[in-house]
Amino acid sequence: VLRGAALDSLGAIARETPSIVDPVADAVVACLDADVRVLKARAIQTLGFLEDDQYTDALRDAAATATDEEIATFADETAAFLER
């Protein structure tokens, strides 16, 4: 519950001012390996809000290893968005 709330907060902050979230982005990337689907989705969303292509590889890896097709697609689409 706490990680989900933290990711929601970080996502909201990143949407407005991505640079504030940059120092903790590694913790967001670590959530891509979470066992809980909603945490993965929130981490993907937050990384998308950062609008930094340095997270593309982590998102592509998450897409390639995801057992949930929707999570895989979301991660892949977010990586493609960051590559633009």
CB proximity list for 12: less than 8 A, separation 6 or greater: none
Distance separating alpha carbons of residues 50 and 69, to the nearest angstrom: 23
Q: Tens digits of per-residue pLDDT, 39-49?
A: 999 999 999 99
Report the predicted TM-score, pTM, of the whole model to 2 decimal places. 0.94
pLDDT at 1: 73
Write the DSSP assignment of 26-77 as a string of letters: HHHHHGGG-SSHHHHHHHHHHHHHHT-GGGHHHHHHHHHH-SSHHHHHHHHH
The reported pLDDT for the residue numbered 28 is 97
Query: 6 pLDDT band (50/70/90 cuts)?
Result: very high
Given a contact cutoff of 8 angstroms between Cβ atoms, the answer to whether 37 and 71 are in contact is: yes
